[in-house]
Structure 1
Amino acid sequence: MSASERLAELGLTLPEVAAPVAAYVPAVRDGDLVLTSGQLPFVDGALAVTGKVGADVDADTAQQLAATCALNAIAAAASVAGGVDAIERVVKVVGFVASDPSFTGQPGVVNGASNLLREVFGDAGQHARSAVGVAVLPLDSPVEVEITVRVRS
């Protein structure tokens, strides 16, 4: 089953690529790799939730936000890859979690992104990953995700 068919089966559509909030582009293709900039959990151009995970935002909500970030990252990658079905494999995921100092569940939060990528790309969605706790993210977002994918030549 193709990635576009899996998205449809999951009831998901790729959103418009989020406009950059600073001096960068959403994604860059270099040969057979596409690297995305960090994607925030924008829905219809806005953050539904802001704040620190473990204080203002619970871990379950943050995990759902990470999935939204991953969907936005897929859209960014697809925009320079020639469509979502041109993505062959998810290579690497980096997730940043704006965390209360006592919060240590960053890997569980970033699982939201990892799980969505596996649902969309199947075995090709398995990836290497980092999950990093940080003091603050742009626009007070609780989560940010970037991905690297391999695409068809």
Structure 2
Amino acid sequence: MSAEARVAELRLELPPAPKPGGIYHPVLIVGNLAIVSGHGPVRNDGTMISGKVGDTMSEVDAHKAARQVGLTMLATLRRELGSLDRIERLVKTLGMVNATPDFANHPQVINGFSGLMVEVWGEVKGRGARSAVGMGSLPANIAVEVEATFELKSE
């Protein structure tokens, strides 16, 4: 099943694709790779999910925020590529969690993003290499930021 068909089947509602907040490309195509700049959790109304895990946000809510980052990234990929069906597979993810120094479950939070990628592309193509780390702060106090690299299908 294609990625676009899977998004429809899952009834995923993608938020508006965010505009760059600085001097960078949201998606840069290099050879057969789509390198996606860091994305935050944009809600469907365009606002961001903010908070610090271990202080103002629970691990469960941060996991949901990471999933929302995935939806936001799908919106950007669709806008930039024209269709999610151009993507062959997820290659690499870097997930950053806005967390207190004593919070240690960063991988479980980023599973919110990773689980969505598996839902869309399947167990093999939706599961890539990954790093999940904690940060002392993130821009605009967002809860989670994720950057990723995808392999594009041969044309």
Scaled by the length of structure 2, what TM-score is found? Answer: 0.92
Q: Could you tell me which runs of 5 or more consecutive residues in structure 2 were left unpaired when the two chains were aligned.
A: none
Partner of 1:139: 140
Partner of 1:117: 117
Displacement of 1:77:
2.6
State how many pairs are aligned.
Answer: 152
1:16-39 Cα distance to aligned partner (Å, 9 max, x none): 321112222211111110011100
Give the residue type in structure 1 aligned to 2:97: V
Partner of 1:21: 21
Displacement of 1:71:
1.6
Give secondary structure in 2 for the equivalent of 1:29: strand
Partner of 1:2: 2
Give secondary structure in 1 for the equivalent of 2:16: coil
* Contact 1:42 1:69 survives alignment (8 Å): yes
In structure 2, how many angstroms separate the alpha carbons of the residues matched to 1:141 and 1:100?
Answer: 13
1:128-151 Cα distance to aligned partner (Å, 9 max, x none): 000010000011001001110011
Q: Could you tell me which runs of 5 or more consecutive residues in structure 1 were left unpaired when the two chains were aligned.
A: none
> Structure 1 segments of 4 or more deviating over 4 A?
none
Give the residue type in structure 1 aligned to 2:125: A
Equivalent positions of 1:48-63 (< 5 A) are 49-63=49-63
1:106-129 Cα distance to aligned partner (Å, 9 max, x none): 000000000000000012101100
Give secondary structure in 1 for the equivalent of 2:75: helix
Give the residue type in structure 1 aligned to 2:23: A
